[in-house]
Amino acid sequence: MSAEIAAHIRRLWRHRGTTLPTPRRGPRQQLDLDEILDAAVTLADAEGLTAVSTRAVAARFGKTAMALYPYVGSKEQFLALMQDHASAPPPTWPELEESLAGSLSAWAFAFFDLHVTHPWLTELPLARSSQGPHERDWMERLQTILTLTGTPPASRSPTTTMLYAVVRACAESDTTLRRTTTDEAEAWRAQQSAIPDLATRYPHTAALPPITTDWREAPRAGLQAAVDLLATALRS
């Protein structure tokens, strides 16, 4: 393991038993990593991930981009630190529901709300884990639910993949719809209805019933329906 990676792991796990790396020479560190990440997450929440740079965050502390490097590492490591920092789970997990559907719903909607609060999380690739403790906490909670409810081991990995994917997709849709005005939604519907012979060309698609009468609630309704369907499949 390189010294750079070792330092990054120590930063990620700084609240779980590791110590932050300190410079061998030069001035002693004057900033707090949690405060840096708070500022970065606040900036990303307000303006999107593209607005986040070491220069922009450092400026909030009256520092240069180079001055931030000893605290956060490379840009990729900085994003991983932000991802894990923003992904803190509830201080205490609620009691498990008696049913698998109830426990999966509680986990899924907590994870959904996290991504709605920090919509830029869906921009980070699912395949590139931050490898931080908070991300591990979410995964361990889900595996605990699947294990204690008797989900077969062979079904746990695909179930995990489906849940992570559907939560992120629904949260991304929720963010888009919350930014959509009623006029924009009506314009979209009008455009769709203008497509010639839509029902004839795509009869099965056109016959799909709406998942909810309120289009703004479609992501949450879709998530609940997906969790219920998955729980039923696991129990069959």
pLDDT of residue 129: 84
Contact (CB, 8 A) for 33 and 11: yes
Place of tokens 């490379």: 74
pTM, to two decimals? 0.91
Fold annotation for 100-235: Tetracycline Repressor; domain 2 (1.10.357)
The whole-number pLDDT of residue 21 equals: 86
pLDDT along the chain (236 residues), means of 10: 91 93 64 95 96 95 91 94 96 88 96 97 88 96 95 96 96 93 89 87 91 93 96 90
What is the pLDDT at residue 9? 95
Does domain 3-83 bear CATH number 1.10.260.40?
Answer: no
DSSP 183: H
Instruction: Give CA separation, 161 vs 126, 127, 139, 220, 224, in Å.
Output: 10, 10, 11, 19, 16
Comma-separated ranges of CATH 1.10.10.60 domains in the chain: 3-83
The CA-based angle 81-138-173, given to 5 degrees, is 85
d(CA 57, CA 99): 45
Compute the distance between CA of residue 225 and CA of residue 236 in angstroms, rounded to an integer. 17
**What region does 150 belong to: left with phi over 0, alpha with psi -120 to 50, or beta?**
left
What type of residue sits at position 214?
D
Q: What is the pLDDT of residue 29?
A: 67
Instruction: Name the segment(s) of the chain with CATH classification 1.10.357.10.
Output: 100-235
